[in-house]
Amino acid sequence: MGLPSFDTFSASSRHHVWSGDELGLADAQVIGTGHAALDAQLPGGGWPVGAMTELLQAAPEAHAWQLLLPALAQAVQGSTGPVALIGAPHEPFGPALAARGLPVEALLWVRSEAPAARLWACEQALRCADMAAVLAWLPQARVGELRRLQLAAAQHDALLFVFRPESAAQSASPARLRLQLAACAQDRTQIDIRILKRRGPPLAAPLQLPARDERMTALLAGSQLRRKLRRQQEGEGDAPSPGTATTTATVVRIDAWKGGAHALDRLTVAA
């Protein structure tokens, strides 16, 4: 039997052939990022589910929450499992995350400095069928180790975000999507997002997203005002003026916040 000629393929079959100069359709489930400008540039219009998304930035946690919170809040609504934080460099502040729709009880923080232990914890979390999402800080992970995590994410259709340093941009990665995040040099209230890898043509210029949403800005401003008034009442004088660095920080355990009236006052904000 001879091979079929090209003419025997239907028009519908040719319609599904992807051209490299077009933004690819998602070949798996996606979840919206919550940022319309970013969704418009991602295959399928969101973060890929069952695949790795790699986020590269100079500071390990600088823009993580602002970028991912909308999707994480959506993910926990449709899942009975938690959001696992593997090796997060700082303890998440419960009230701020809860104000954006991510409840404290949905967080599972796994603390470990050993690279091998982080990889093991990440892989085990991905094997849990009811896990809402996994965020892993893996600065020393190698390509083979990342490939194992990619396979584990695919087995249970997990939402996986891996944070690595900017220097990893020049090395190979099995991630389906790679983004580089940085504060905008011209406007510090914005985040520059460069799409390093996606199914589609390269993005010529970086996207810009707000570095902090309006609700969170209002919450932090209210917290600063309350501290200033309290210091004035206690005779300590005004709070540091803008541009003055603070040297202390208050750390609150995730499970310690019970939604008290003054919980937000526990947050220390660098001026």
Per-residue pLDDT of 2-44, as tens digits, reads 544 434 434 444 444 444 445 555 456 899 999 999 999 999 9
How many whole angstroms separate alpha carbon 41 and alpha carbon 28? 16
Whole-number pLDDT of residue 149: 95
Q: Is residue 40 within 8 Å of 200, Cβ to Cβ?
A: no
| Per-residue pLDDT at 216 | 56
Place of tokens 């519908």: 12
| Distance spanning both ends of the chain, measured CA to CA | 76
Work out the average pLDDT over 137-163: 93
Q: Decide the pairing of beta strands 159-164 and 133-137.
A: parallel
* CA–CA separation, 126 and 131 (whole Å): 7
Residue 222: what pLDDT? 63
Q: Which domains occur in the chain, in start order?
A: 24-210 (3.40.50.300), 214-266 (no CATH)
Q: Give the span between the Cα atoms of 65 and 197, in whole angstroms.
A: 21
What local confidence, expressed as pLDDT, does residue 260 receive? 34
Q: What mean pLDDT is predicted for residues 187-211?
A: 86
Distance in angstroms (rounded) separating the CA atoms of residues 232 and 212:
28
- Structure tokens of 71? 């999707």
Report CA-CA distances (Å) from 16 to 23, 43, 76, 132, 205: 13, 14, 33, 31, 28
CA distances from 195 to 155, 175, 244 (A): 26, 12, 34
Containing 42, the helix (H) or strand (E) segment is none
Residue 142 pLDDT:
93
Alpha-carbon torsion angle 49, 151, 201, 183, nearest 10: 70
Q: Decide: helix, strand or coil at residue 84.
A: strand
Neighbour-count burial of 254, counting CB atoms closer than 10 A to its CB (0-12 exposed, 13-18 middle, 19+ buried) = middle
Rounded Cα distance between 169 and 175, Å, is 12
| Backbone φ/ψ region at 34: left (φ over 0), alpha (ψ -120 to 50), beta | left
pLDDT: which is higher, 214 or 167: 167
